[in-house]
Amino acid sequence: MARPKILVVGAGFAGVSCIRRLERRLAPEEADIALVTPYSYQLYLPLLPQVASGILTPQSVALSLRRNTKHRTKIMPGGAIGVDTKSKICVTRMITGQIVDEPYDYIVVAPGSITRTFAIPGLTEYGRGMKTLAEAAYIRDHVISQLDLADASQDEDERASRLQFVVVGGGYAGTETAACLQRLTSNAVKRYPRLDPRLIKWHLIDIAPRLMPELGENLGRSAMEVLQRRGIEVSLGVSIAEAGIDKVTFTDGRVLPCRTLIWTAGVVASPLVATLGAETVRGRLAVTAEMTLPGFDGVFALGDAAAVPDLAKGDGAVCPPTAQHAMRQGRVAAENVISSMRGRPLQPYVHKDLGLVVDLGGKDAVSKPLGIELRGLPAQAVARGYHWSALRTNVAKVRVLTNWMINAAAGDDFVRIGFLSQKPAKLEDFEYTDVYLSPEQVREHTASITARGR
Q: Residue 255 above 70 pLDDT?
A: yes
Question: What is the count of structural domains for the chain?
Answer: 2
Position 454 confidence tier, pLDDT thresholds 50, 70, 90: very low
Q: Are residues 283 and 153 in the same domain?
A: no
pLDDT higher at 220 or 334: 334
Q: Are residues 447 and 300 in the same domain?
A: yes
When pLDDT is averaged across residues 201-230 and rounded to a whole number, the result is 92
Q: Residue 67 above 50 pLDDT?
A: yes
Q: Are residues 136 and 252 in the same domain?
A: yes
Q: Are residues 200 and 258 in the same domain?
A: yes
Name the residue among 65, 43, 67, 69 with its Cα closest to residue 56. 43
**Rounded to an integer, what distance in angstroms lies between the CA atom of residue 287 and that of residue 109?**
11
CATH of residue 336's domain is: 3.50.50.60
With respect to residue 46, please indicate whether it lies within any of the assigned structural domains.
Answer: yes
CATH of residue 208's domain is: 3.50.50.100
Final residue before a domain boundary, out of 241, 265, 289? 265
With respect to residue 290, please indicate whether it lies within any of the assigned structural domains.
Answer: yes
When pLDDT is averaged across residues 273-282 and rounded to a whole number, the result is 94
Q: Are residues 136 and 101 in the same domain?
A: no
Per-residue pLDDT tens digits for 351-371: 888 888 999 988 899 998 888
Q: Are residues 239 and 133 in the same domain?
A: yes
With respect to residue 397, please indicate whether it lies within any of the assigned structural domains.
Answer: no
Final residue before a domain boundary, out of 246, 265, 284? 265
CB 106 within 8 A of CB 4: yes
pLDDT mean across residues, the chain = 92
With respect to residue 110, please indicate whether it lies within any of the assigned structural domains.
Answer: yes
Residue 306 DSSP SS3? strand
Position 413 confidence tier, pLDDT thresholds 50, 70, 90: confident
Which amino acid, one-letter code, is at 174?
Answer: G
When pLDDT is averaged across residues 165-186 and rounded to a whole number, the result is 95
Q: Are residues 202 and 304 in the same domain?
A: no
Position 232 confidence tier, pLDDT thresholds 50, 70, 90: very high
Name the residue among 182, 162, 234 with its Cα closest to residue 204. 234
With respect to residue 56, please indicate whether it lies within any of the assigned structural domains.
Answer: yes
Q: Residue 328 above 80 pLDDT?
A: yes
Q: Are residues 154 and 289 in the same domain?
A: no
Q: Are residues 36 and 146 in the same domain?
A: no
pLDDT of residue 420: 66
Domain of 438? 5-115+268-353+431-453
CB 34 within 8 A of CB 5: yes
Per-residue pLDDT tens digits for 74-109: 999 999 999 999 999 999 999 999 999 999 999 999
pLDDT of residue 284: 96
With respect to residue 177, please indicate whether it lies within any of the assigned structural domains.
Answer: yes
Position 438 confidence tier, pLDDT thresholds 50, 70, 90: confident
With respect to residue 405, please indicate whether it lies within any of the assigned structural domains.
Answer: no
Q: Are residues 228 and 280 in the same domain?
A: no
Least confident of 10-19, 26-35, 142-151, 369-378: 369-378
Final residue before a domain boundary, out of 230, 265, 300? 265
Instruction: Identify the bridge partners of residue 243 per DSSP, sorted by sequence position.
Output: 248
Which amino acid, one-letter code, is at 114?
Answer: I
Q: Are residues 185 and 218 in the same domain?
A: yes
When pLDDT is averaged across residues 52-77 and rounded to a whole number, the result is 90
pLDDT of residue 452: 64
Q: Are residues 83 and 167 in the same domain?
A: no
With respect to residue 411, please indicate whether it lies within any of the assigned structural domains.
Answer: no
pLDDT cut 90: percent of the chain above it: 77
When pLDDT is averaged across residues 238-257 and rounded to a whole number, the result is 95
